[in-house]
Every structure is written in C-alpha cells, then in structure tokens.
Amino acid sequence: MTFSQSSSVTPAPLDSAWPPAHIWETMGAADRASWLGQIQRDRARRLEMDVAETDLRHRRPRVDLQGDENFEENREPPPEVKPLIDIFPGVSAALLTRVFERKLKATELIRFKEKSVTEQDHEDRVFKMTESGGTVGFRKAAASLKDWGPNPQTWTSCFLTYLAVIGHLFGEKHPKAVPNLLMFMRQILDLAQTYQWSEAVLPLALNFHQYILDKGELSTENNLVTAPFREKYLRHNLTLPANSPANPSARPRQTRPNTAIQYPVFNPELPKLQFSPSPLYAKGWSNLLRYYPGDLRSTITGILTYGVQIGYRGKKQFYHSSNHHIHEPEMISAKLAEDLNLGRIRLACRPSFVSPLGLVPKHDGGWRRIHDLSWPPGQGLNQGIPDSWSAIEYITIDDIYEQVTQAGPGCIIIKRDIKDAFRIVPVAEDNQHLLAFQWNDSTYVECCLPFGLATAPFLFNLFAEALHWILQCLLPIFYINHYLDDFIAIIRSSSLSDPMGPFNEVYNGVTDYLRIPRNTKKDQQGTCVTVLGIQTDSIAMEARLPPDKLCRATLDAAAALSAASLSLKQTERLTGSLAFCSRVVRLGRTRLQSLYTFQAAFPHGRSARRRISHEVRDDLEWWRDSLSLFNGVLLIDPCRRSITHLYTDASNKGQGLFFFSSKSISDCWLAHCHQLHPSNAASLALAQNAYAHQDAHAHQDAHAHQVAHAHINTTEVDAILQGFLLFSHHWLHHTLVIHTDSSTAYTGLSKGFLHGPPNVPLKSLLILAAARDIQIVPHWLPSGENTLADALSRPLGIEPPAWFSSRAPQLNAGHLKLLWSGLSANTRSVYHSVQRNYEKHCALQNLSAWPASTQSLTSWLTSRLLGNSTQKAVKPDTALADLAALRAYHIDNFLEDKLFDNKHFRRLIDGARRLNPITKVRVRKPISRDTITKLSAGLATLPSQSLEMTANLLDDLNFATACRVAFAGFLRLGEFTYKTEDLSTRPTFLATKLTRSDVRFSSSLDHVQLTLKRSKTDRRHEGAQIILAKTGDGACPVDALQRLLLLDPKAPDAPLFSFHRRPFNRNNFLSTLSTKLKVLGIHANGYSGHSFRKGAAQHAHDSGILDDQIQVLGRWTSDAFRVYFTTNTSVLYKLNHQFQTGSPAPLSLLLPPPSPPPS
C-alpha cells in the first residue's frame, strides 16, 4: 500500500492504541504517514534505551526497542525447551526458545505476564504498523511503559517467571545465575521504595537487564546495578514527596527515633497564632511529611499552627528572680532589640514566672544569651517539667566513625547547620507567661523556645528528625545524620562523580521550601571535616582533635600545672575538657584516672582547694608535652600486622604466661600446641609469707616482692605487664590478642583505664604498647579454657607453708611437697580456716585438739550448729563440710579417721535441720502459652521488608521469636542466650551455641528442625534434634522463625538471636522479659529463665501428654522433670468426685474458684 496525500485524521495522542485493520484501510496515505510519524516520535521519546556502556540504538534496528514480535511461531522448539511448555503453560514456546537461545530482550519480559481473558482479547485487537519497501503492514503492538503499570508488581511477576525459566534451562550449568539475578531484582525493588517507578526505576531496570543480557554471562559474581547506571537514571529523579506517586506504600516506612510524644505538645483548642515568630512554612512541612508512617506530620503542623506547649506541670504561682551578673550588658540590650524586632520576645502582659538572664561563653569566643530557667536551684521552672519529657538519644561520634568506615577511604563528608535552632519554634500563647524575664525595668516574655528550657532540645529535635527523614528519602545513597541543628551527610567517593551537586540541590531546595534558615558560615564539605568537635579525615581514615581544641587542651594542662592548687570547679572543667579529648588521643583515658581520683577526693564544700598530687602532676605534664604526639586514632588500620596470641593468668602463688604466632585472631592455643616453646613462656613466683619463691632473674625477684601482697585483680593485670616487659620486643607492629580470664583485666584493656591500684600496671603496659606500635585485642575466656597459663601461674617446686611443715617435722621435703599438693590451694585455705577455728574452741574449753576425740568434736560441733557469743550458727550443710576439713588434718598426719564416720555427728546435724528448717526455695512461676502469645503479639504488626525495620523493632522480633522457640522447644535459658565473651572465640561459639545455620525448614514448611549442639544432659556432646511443629496461631515458632530470617537476615554463622548494640545474654533477656510482662500488667516477680521450660512442661501435662513423652520432649534424663508440673486442680477435683461418688464427674461440673483466705 502506498501513501496518499491526505490529512483529515488527527495524529494519535501519546500512548494511544493502534487502530483496527478496518479503520486503517479507510485512512489515506497522508493520514497513515502522519499517524505513523507521531507514533514513532512518541515511542522514541518514551522508551529511549540509552545504556551508558552499551547504546542499544547502535546495535539493533530502532523498532527492536519496543519489543520484537517477529517470532517463528511454527518453528519446532528445541528438545531442551519442550519439557518447559507444560511447566509454563502461559508462556509461548517461541518465547521460551528465545530465552534458551539467549535472544531475549529486556522489554520482552512483559510477555511473561499472565493475562486475563479481557486482556488477551484486547491484545488481539491492538495492532502495530510496519513499513517495508514503501508498503505498510500490521502486527501486534509492543508494550509501552504504561503496560508495566504504576508500580513494580508487573515487572516483579514477569521477572520471577523469567528466573524460573532460567533455573530450568541453565540451573545445573550456571548455579549462580538465579541467585545473582535475585540480588539484582531486590536492588531494583529497594530503589523503587525511594525513586519514581515509571520515570526512573523501570527504565533503569530494563536498560541494566539488557546490559546483562548483552554480556551473556549468566554465572558472573553479581548483577548489582553499577554507579554509572544509577547516576544516569536516578540523579535527576530526586523528586519531593509532593510529586511522588500517590501510593504511599512506595515511600520509606521507617520512623525516626526521639519522636515519641509523652505529653500534648500543642493544644488545638487554642486560637491559631496570629503573629508567629517562626519562619517555618507549615503547609510545606505537611506536604513533605504526607507519607511519614507516624504522627510526626500532625505534631509539626500543630506546633506551627498553635505554638508549642513547654510541658510545665509545677505550681501556678508568681515567681521572680533577679538576673545573674552580666559581663557585657550592651550585648544583652542589642540582642533583645534584635529579638524584639523579629517578634521572638514581646512586652509581658501577665508574667507569672520571671527567671534570670545570663551569658555563657561560646566556643568561638563569643557569648550566648541564656534564660536560666533552672534558677533558683530546686524551684526553677525546669523543676516543674518531668525529666522523662525532655529525654533524647543523640547520635554519637562512634556512629559517625562507623559510617565513614563503611563508606570507605576518600568518602565525602558534608556538614550543614541550621541557624538560630531553638528560636524558630514558636511557643503557645498560653505558655509564654512562664518564660518571662526583666531587663531595664521592663518585663518581657519569650515567644519562641529559649536556650535554657529543659524541653527545648527535644521539641526542636522533632523538626530536626522530620528534616532528617525527608533528606533520607530524597538522598538514599547518602548516610544522613544529625545532632540537633548540625546535619552530617556521608557518601562513598565512587557513588557519584559530583556528589555536592545533587546534595546541594536537594538540601537547599528542601530548606528553602520549608523556610529553614541556613547558617552557611558553618558549612563544611570534603574529606577532612570537623564533626561533633572531632576532625574526621577520610583520606587518612583518622579521627583527631582539630588545631584549636589541641591548642586549648595543651594550654589548660599548662595552666593547671602553673597553679599550686585547684578548686573543685577548676578540676571539673579541666577533667571534662581532657575527657572529651581522650576519645581521639591515644592513651588519653589512661592518663585521666589520676584526675578522676583527685576530683573524687574533694570535700563537699565547693570553695575548698586541693594541692596537686605527684601522680596528677605527672599526667598533666604528659597532656602538656605529649598531646600532639598522640593526637589521632585510626578508623581503619592500614598496616598488615602479624598476629600474636598472649595467654596470661595469676594465682596466689605466681603468674604464668605464654605466646605464639598465628594467622587468625580467633585461634586457640590448643590448635598450636606443636609450636609452643619454653622460650616463649614464663612462670613467675610471688614472694609471700606463706610460700617460698623460686630463684629467678633479678627483675623477677624484685617484681615478686613488689606484688606479693597485691589484690588478685592487680596481680592479673601485672601478669600482662610482665609479658610486655619480657617479650614485647618480639611484637613490634603486631596485633596482640591478649587472652585473660580476669574480667578486670579485660575491662581495663577494652576501656584503656581502671580505677584504683590495677590502673598502675595497666598504664605501664599501654605505654609500652604505644611505643612499640602493638595493637591490643582483648579477649576474655573461661578459666577452664586457660589451663596452660593457670598451670604456669602455679610454679612447680614451691615449698609448703611453714605452718604445714611444722606439723610434721619428721617428714622430708619431698614427702611434704607431695602431701601439700594432694589438695588444691583453695581447699587448703578453707580447711586451714576451719582447723584453726576448731583449735581455738578446744583451747577455750581446755580440750586436747589433736587427735580429735568424740568429746572435742561433739563440743565443737554443738557450738558450731547453735552458735555462741563469738560466732554465728552455721548451716547444717556447712557443718558437714567442716567435719571433712578436720578429717583432712587426720589424713595429713597419719591419724585414724574412722571417728568421723560416727553416725552420732550426723544425728546432731539432722537435729539442727529440724530446729532451723531451711526456708522454702523461691517458686519459679511457669509461663503459659497464652502469655507467650501476648509477649509475641507484635510480630503480626511488623513491616514486610527488612529495610523498614528499626533497631527497636529488630530487638522485639528477636525477643518474641526466642520466647516462642524456647517454649515450644523446652529450651533452657543458656541454650539460646550467650555471653559477650562467647563471640570472641568463634570456633567454640560455633561448636556450642545456636546459629542461623541450625534452623532447617521442612519442604512443606510444616515444621522446623532445630539442632542443639550442646546441652546440659548431652554429656557426650552428640547434639540434639528438636522438632518444632507449625501451629499457625499466635505462639507458632515456625512463623516466628520465618519472620526472623526474612526481616533480620544474617550470615549462617551468626547467632540465632541477637539484640541491637547489646549481647543477647541472660541478664538482657530477663530484663526485657520483665519489662514486657509489666507492660502486659503481669507482675514479673517469680518469673525467670526457667519459667519457659516449666511452663512448657505444665502445658504438656495439662494437654494430656504422658509423663514419659514429656520427658522425651524436654530431654530429661532423670525423674526430675516431674517437679516441673503439677496436676491441675480441676483434674484433682474430678478424681476426688469419682473417688467419693463412684461415678465420673459430669461434663458440666466445673470447679468453683477457691474462696479467699479469711482476713
């Protein structure tokens, strides 16, 4: 058909359907040409497939961009494709063949869509015009962007079908293909939560998928969208929520912290503010917060409309306080004139709370006017505001370090500041009279939040949190943080070629739209920016003091040294300043402890002064002279360090230590026994009165006498110091993993300081570590795993104490050593104390102590059990152990010990039991299945995606799942919780504790198999398999585990349960349980970790499960399980009824509730 000259038909509008054949035949050639041209232009504009690395328009005909329908429908499909025709009945054989032959294009994914009858009929009537050799033909039209729909649902459905086909065709040859493409799909869906689908994410998905198809490598390591694609398709689609899709589910759902309101912060019954001092645009805030998942939008608009309620709940009476001493009154006058002009203050009509004004110094040398609302002490306005109403959780510098580390070296740090912060939030008119002050005989009231109000930071932070959420929505590839009015953004250097452009465009646009004043004088950006007072350098990956703070700290230390004494206020100011610096000064915390001790020793009077001690002077000289040398801590250690393990232990006899080299910080000494050498170990004896010390080197002898009478905590830390003194020259530039079973030593090494005497050896070893560039990694381990160091701490050849030798002078030295070593040192110490008590009693009663006689033992045992004026009565079990101590004396001295088998002594002890019965053991309440349902009810309201989970929601998820699993699996508390130190020994942890890999779902998802690798009754450590059945109700453990693995994904070797920023240990779990029970209105007294196992046994018994079956479910190996449950009173009632009447109780017979006891 040739074109004719006519133009009576209007060109087709954008996305219009192609006309049926009978209409097309009535059109003239010109109309057809016009229609065809319009369609081609619209098509090119809508689906321009311009891939950055591979421009598809240069590689195939332009019509291919719309999807090619030129299939060979009659062609016989290959043998590999034929089995798939029955598996995928909705997919044509030709399409399956194109997938198999690697000819499929990304736009053809729409062909995998399951079509309804209506859609199929519509598709049959939609044609597309083609031209070839001057003639026009028809075929089915390709899909347009509208065919994909306004959300990712259609694309996701098609892509999943495509993945199933890929798996059947290429799964065996390319096993990584489907998992890698799933990663790509998840990334696309994550981007769709923030960016517009049709305009940005869908073109990105189609183009990058085409890029993958062109590469033809199904088994590549990953298929994540590269930075050039993200920058090309997403950077120009950072649209505001006002212009985003109408479907709010496409917006992020995560709420911000610090937004839980504990009192009404605005009063809608008040008239609207007529003259608000706030520049903020209420409608703009409302618009940008329309998709916020909480009440923050209404809170913000309510405050801007009616003013904020400051939260005062004190007495309503008139107070008046005079101003503090003002150094520069002209500054106050000038500032008040400015505030009066801006409407931030006004003349008072009816003030009721007049508080004083004051000036406080700013960091830049200026002054800030404050309204001292805490004056007078105990009676100020702030005392009428509950403390919980002003509570706020700030971001820490450690959070910034973590994000800089994640972003990597060279990341860009951007800092922005809001001007006038608190002063942009208006105060409700009925609260302004509480914020009054006087100046030059006039009384004024604050019309906006003042500096000095207890709730001002919290109330302003509501706006900061809202702005944080908005920025995070619009800048998802940035780390966004804020500390009140300071906003910090961090982005990888490789994410965008020019990150400042998109950031400034969004940040400036949002702040202008919301009318937030910007303090551009404090703007900073680059790779070295001062954040929260600390200079963070992403090139060197170092955090350090900025020059001004470094100079100030040095001058403060020098000024303190020049004074003979210091007041308490001066000491507090100096300690606070240096404590801030110590966060990024190596050894800073170690050099602060003397100041803390000095400050704590001040008398109560604040006017008192104290002379500077020698230790304080020594540390201050270090701060003055060496601060610049130790300024800065590395966020990432660039040095490839060798790894050395040091094991130490101390006892009342000596100190032991040894070290070895390794390739991993998680190695254990047992795996390196073959490389242990005596030259890498030391056994140091302590010179104590009770023991003779070994001959050793001179410095070891001096050390032994020096720590002879030290506390065990000091001795433990000193053992590590001895390791440094002896061997640290071998550890230059090493990572030294220090293994200790002392919690004091572990805490000191972790924090860098200790209180009291143990800090002295700690300071010395840390100085040695810094001097020799040794990176310390502390690791706590149980005493049972530190046996070699423990043995070294008890040197062989130590003579028995003099008191022991004097008892048997006829025995030779070797005999005495063997005899003394027959009992442990601790047992010897306890027995010796009992023996001395017995000897003292016999002396007072004029009885012969040794050998013990019936008379002496009876007299002493009676006095021991009943007590007297010199000692309290002991428990019967203690008296029984005391007899063993006296028997040990007889054994040591070749005396007959059959006397101690006399049953008369046992009869005396039994009499004591009857006279003084032991108080009843605290009953542990069982947790019922109904309580489990209530404790885990929050699982039903959790978000559907892991990205929407906050830290608190993750904690709730892990706790609720643990409750369900513990109850259903009869778990002991120690079987699903763990200590912090457990994680530091990964092999031991993986061999003993529950991890994610220990959970296996059945193919039908009707049960879970939980592998318990270590338990109390599993003596051989063979492990136990626990089956958890799916019930589908509110206590179902299978549903909970599915949610846990979906919403809190972790590595297979990660702990099964965890808390955010705190270990999932016994104390934290029970603390959370107590809190949750109180929220449910249940008294937490009597509930413990064993309540789950007890409750499970009781529920099983009440459900009619046989006793031996309960024993199997709970993995009991004895009859002890019978004490875990009691027979239900209703059952006892029916049995007794049957016993007395001879017939079963009727079904309608219910047990009446017991009457309360008489008052």
Q: For 770-779, write each residue's pLDDT tens digit.
A: 888 888 999 9
Residue in the block written with tokens 């308490």: 568
pLDDT classification of 213: cutoffs 50, 70, 90: confident
Cα distance between residue 691 and residue 659, in whole Å: 27
Out of 154-168, 235-249, 494-508, 648-662, least confident range: 235-249
Class of domain 282-537: alpha beta
pLDDT, average across residues 907-913: 90
Q: What is the mean pLDDT of the chain?
A: 81
pLDDT classification of 167: cutoffs 50, 70, 90: confident
The predicted structure's pLDDT at residue 706: 52
The predicted structure's pLDDT at residue 486: 96
**Cα–Cα distances in Å, from 359 out to 324, 334, 455?**
8, 13, 20
**Residue pair 370/451 in contact by the 8 Å Cβ criterion:** yes
The predicted structure's pLDDT at residue 235: 55
Chain segment 672-695, per-residue pLDDT in tens? 877 788 888 888 876 433 323 333
Q: Express the helix, strand and coil content of the chain in percent, nearest 5 each.
A: 45, 10, 40
Burial of 795 (0-12, 13-18, 19+ CB in 10 A): buried
Half-sphere exposure of 536 (CA within 13 A, CB side): 32
pLDDT(512) > 90: yes
The secondary structure element, H or E, covering residue 702 is: helix 698-706
pLDDT(473) > 50: yes
Cα distance between residue 807 and residue 826, in whole Å: 19
**Nearest CA-CA partner of 12 in 144, 106, 119:** 144
In eight-state DSSP terms, residue 450 is P
Cα distance between residue 958 and residue 953, in whole Å: 9
**Nearest CA-CA partner of 588 in 543, 547, 641, 654:** 543
**Residue pair 168/88 in contact by the 8 Å Cβ criterion:** no
Chain segment 549-577, per-residue pLDDT in tens? 999 999 999 999 999 899 998 999 999 99
Amino acid sitting at position 257 = P
Tokens of 206: 């189609």
**Cα–Cα distances in Å, from 353 out to 358, 369, 481, 785?**
16, 18, 37, 65
Out of 530-544, 946-960, 1076-1090, 1138-1152, least confident range: 1138-1152
Q: Long-range CB contacts (< 8 A, 24+ apart) of 623-630?
A: 623/553, 623/554, 623/557, 623/578, 623/591, 624/554, 624/557, 624/558, 624/561, 627/550, 627/553, 627/554, 627/557, 627/581, 627/585, 628/550, 628/554, 630/585, 630/586, 630/587, 630/588, 630/770
pLDDT, average across residues 259-277: 94
pLDDT classification of 482: cutoffs 50, 70, 90: very high
Chain segment 428-443, per-residue pLDDT in tens? 999 999 999 999 989 9
pLDDT, average across residues 193-207: 82
Cα distance between residue 436 and residue 432, in whole Å: 7
| Residue 497 CB partners (closer than 8 Å, separation 6+) | 231
Cα distance between residue 344 and residue 335, in whole Å: 11
In eight-state DSSP terms, residue 496 is -
Q: Percentage of residues in the chain with pLDDT exceeding 70? A: 82
The predicted structure's pLDDT at residue 141: 47
**Residue pair 648/717 in contact by the 8 Å Cβ criterion:** no
**Nearest CA-CA partner of 665 in 738, 768, 729, 717:** 738
Bridge partners (DSSP) listed for residue 899:
none
Each domain of the chain, given as residue ranges in start order, spans 47-237, 282-537, 561-634, 642-792, 802-915, 929-1126
Chain segment 621-633, per-residue pLDDT in tens? 989 988 887 888 8
Fold designation for 642-792: Nucleotidyltransferase; domain 5 (3.30.420)
Q: Where is mean pLDDT largest: 246-250, 251-255, 949-953? A: 949-953
**Residue pair 1053/990 in contact by the 8 Å Cβ criterion:** yes
More confident residue, 211 or 571: 571
Cα distance between residue 798 and residue 697, in whole Å: 17
Ramachandran assignment for 39, one of left (phi > 0), alpha (psi -120 to 50 degrees), beta (any other): alpha
Fold designation for 929-1126: hpI Integrase; Chain A (1.10.443)
Cα distance between residue 1008 and residue 1026, in whole Å: 8
pLDDT, average across residues 162-166: 87
35: phi then psi, degrees, rounded to nearest 5: -60, -45
**Residue pair 58/35 in contact by the 8 Å Cβ criterion:** no
Tokens of 241: 């929520």
**Residue pair 247/150 in contact by the 8 Å Cβ criterion:** yes
Residues 802-915, CATH architecture? Orthogonal Bundle (1.10)
More confident residue, 328 or 281: 281
Cα distance between residue 1070 and residue 1087, in whole Å: 9
Is the pTM higher than 0.75? The answer reads no
Q: Where is mean pLDDT largest: 28-32, 801-805, 844-848, 976-980? A: 844-848
More confident residue, 47 or 106: 106
pLDDT(62) > 60: no
The secondary structure element, H or E, covering residue 8 is: none
More confident residue, 2 or 268: 268
Cα distance between residue 267 and residue 373, in whole Å: 23
Cα distance between residue 766 and residue 753, in whole Å: 9
Cα distance between residue 583 and residue 86, in whole Å: 67
Cα distance between residue 1157 and residue 1143, in whole Å: 31
Instruction: Give the relative orientation of helices 202-215 and 177-192 as an angle to the nearest 10 degrees.
Output: 160
pLDDT classification of 410: cutoffs 50, 70, 90: very high
